[in-house]
C-alpha cells in the first residue's frame, strides 16, 4: 500500500519499495490490486501486490524464509516513507480500507474475484486513533490474521517486548501487537494455541492457586516468562490461519463472542444475529468462556497438539 497525499508521493513510495524489493527478492509477478472504481471510497491509497521469492545473501542465508520475509516487512514499514505491507500471506489475503465493510468488499470485488474456505470480516469504529487504511482490520503477518474488538490497554508493554524480537509497530493501533504476538508465539516459538491463549489471557493468580501442582507450575512459568505479552483490557479476537480459526476473549470476557456450528461449518462472531444472517439455522450456539480459546480446524489441517493442557478449550470438527 502506498499512501501520501498526492499521486506523485505514492508513485515515489512505489519506486522506492521496488528498488528495495529488487535487492532482496526475485519478483515474479506484480500488479495493481483490482478494484471497482465505481464504488466510492475516500482517498484510496495505491494498492499493489507482488509475488516474490526471497533472495537471501550473506548472513541472511541462515534465516528461514518466513523470518526473512517478516524482517523485510518490518524494514519496509519503518524505513520507506508512505509504503506499508498489510498483507503478506502465501495463501491468505487481507483486504481493508476506510469505509463501511460492505463498501470495502465491493471495492475489492471480493465476491467476484476470490474464493476461500475461511473468511473473516470486521467493521471498526476507531475510538483512539485516526482512521486510515493501514489501521483497518484484519492485521496480518504471513498466513496469520487477527481481528479484534476491544482495547489493549497493555499496548505499551506489549509493544516494547515485541520490539526486542524485531517487530516494529507502525500501524498506529493496538491490534497490531496481537498479530505480532501470535506470530512470535505460534510461528517462531511453535507454541500450541492452547498455551498461547494462556499467555495472552492468563488465569488470575487466585485461580492458579487452586490448580493441581503440574498445571500450577505450567501457568506460573507462563506468567513469569511471558508477563509482558499479557493482553490487558477488554478484548475479543478472531485469529485466522491456514486451516484454522481461533476465537478468544479476555479472561473475564469484557467483550462478547458467540460461537456456532451448522453441519461442518463453524462460525464465530461478536453477535449471534450476524451468524444468523448467513446461516439462519444452527446446530449449536454457545458463549465461549473468557480466556479459553475456541478452536475450529479444517479437516486435513489438524495441528496435532494432543497432550498437555487437556481441559479448558474446545475443539470443533
Partner 1 sequence: MMIRAAVSKGRPSSVPKAGVSAGAGAVSIDAAGLETRELNDRLRELLLSGTKRVEISHVCGQRYIGTRLYTPERHQMEIDIRGTAGNDLAAFLSGHKITVHGNAQDGVGNTMDSGEVVVRGRAGDVLGFSMRGGEIYVRDGCGYRAALHMKDCEGKRPVLVVGGGAQDFLGEYMAGGVVIILDFDGESRDASFMGTGMHGGVIYLRGTARVDQVGAQVEISPADEADRELIEEYVSRYLERFPEVEMTKEEILASPFVRLTPRSKRPYSGLYAY
Which member of 24, 96, 122, 187 binds partner 1 (CB under 8 A)?
A: 122
148 lines the binding site for partner 1 (CB under 8 A)? yes
287 lines the binding site for partner 1 (CB under 8 A)? yes
221 lines the binding site for partner 1 (CB under 8 A)? no
Helix (H/G/I), strand (E/B), else coil: 228: helix
Cα–Cα distance between 294 and 118 in angstroms, integer? 15
What is the nearest approach in angstroms of partner 1 to the Cβ of residue 187?
Answer: 24
The CA angle 128-130-132, to the nearest 5 degrees, is 130
228 lines the binding site for partner 1 (CB under 8 A)? no
Cα–Cα distance between 208 and 19 in angstroms, integer? 53
End-to-end CA, the chain: 37
> Cell triple for residue 155?
499496548
- In this complex, which beta carbon is closest to partner 1, that of residue 20 or of residue 289? 289
Cα–Cα distance between 7 and 28 in angstroms, integer? 25
Which member of 144, 145, 175, 261 binds partner 1 (CB under 8 A)?
A: 175
The interface region with partner 1, picked from 63-71, 154-162, 222-230, 249-257 by CB under 8 A, is: 249-257
172 lines the binding site for partner 1 (CB under 8 A)? no
- In this complex, which beta carbon is closest to partner 1, that of residue 218 or of residue 282? 282
Which strands make up the sheet holding 244-249, listed edge to edge?
Answer: 139-141, 144-150, 235-241, 244-249, 294-297, 314-316
Please, how many CA atoms are within 13 Å of residue 272, restricted to the half-sphere of its CB? 11
Contacts to partner 1 by CB under 8 A: 100-102, 122-128, 148-151, 173-175, 206-207, 210, 252-253, 256, 258, 269-274, 276-277, 285, 287, 289-290
Amino acid at each position: 500500500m502506498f499512501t501520501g497525499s498526492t499521486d506523485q508521493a505514492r508513485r515515489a513510495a512505489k519506486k522506492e519499495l521496488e528498488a528495495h524489493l529488487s535487492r532482496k527478492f526475485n519478483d515474479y509477478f506484480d500488479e495493481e490490486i483490482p478494484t471497482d472504481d465505481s464504488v466510492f471510497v475516500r482517498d484510496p491509497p495505491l494498492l499493489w501486490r507482488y509475488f516474490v521469492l526471497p533472495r537471501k545473501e550473506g548472513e541472511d542465508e541462515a534465516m528461514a524464509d518466513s523470518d526473512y520475509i517478516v524482517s523485510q516487512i518490518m524494514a519496509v514499514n519503518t524505513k520507506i516513507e508512505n509504503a506499508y505491507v498489510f498483507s503478506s500471506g502465501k495463501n491468505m489475503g487481507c483486504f481493508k480500507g476506510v469505509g463501511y465493510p460492505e463498501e470495502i468488499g465491493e471495492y475489492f470485488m471480493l465476491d467476484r474475484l476470490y474464493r476461500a474456505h475461511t473468511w473473516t470480516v470486521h467493521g471498526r469504529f476507531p475510538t483512539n486513533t485516526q482512521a486510515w487504511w493501514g489501521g483497518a482490520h484484519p492485521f496480518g503477518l504471513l498466513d496469520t490474521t487477527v481481528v479484534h474488538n476491544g482495547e489493549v490497554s497493555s499496548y505499551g508493554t506489549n509493544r516494547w517486548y515485541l520490539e526486542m524480537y524485531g517487530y516494529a509497530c507502525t500501524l498506529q493501533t493496538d491490534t497490531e501487537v496481537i498479530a505480532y504476538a501470535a506470530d512470535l508465539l505460534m510461528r517462531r516459538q511453535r507454541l500450541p494455541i492452547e498455551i498461547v491463549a494462556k499467555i495472552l489471557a492468563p488465569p488470575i493468580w487466585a485461580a492458579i492457586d487452586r490448580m493441581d501442582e503440574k498445571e500450577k507450575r505450567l501457568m506460573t512459568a507462563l506468567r513469569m516468562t511471558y508477563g509482558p505479552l499479557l493482553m490487558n483490557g477488554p478484548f475479543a479476537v478472531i485469529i485466522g490461519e491456514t486451516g484454522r480459526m481461533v476465537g478468544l476473549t479476555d479472561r473475564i470476557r469484557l467483550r462478547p463472542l458467540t460461537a456456532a456450528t451448522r453441519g461442518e461449518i463453524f462460525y464465530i462472531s461478536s453477535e449471534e444475529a450476524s451468524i444468523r444472517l448467513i446461516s439462519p439455522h444452527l446446530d449449536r450456539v454457545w458463549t465461549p468462556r473468557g480466556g479459553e480459546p475456541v478452536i475450529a480446524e479444517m479437516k486435513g489441517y489438524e495441528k496435532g497438539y494432543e497432550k498437555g493442557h487437556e481441559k479448558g478449550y474446545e475443539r470443533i470438527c
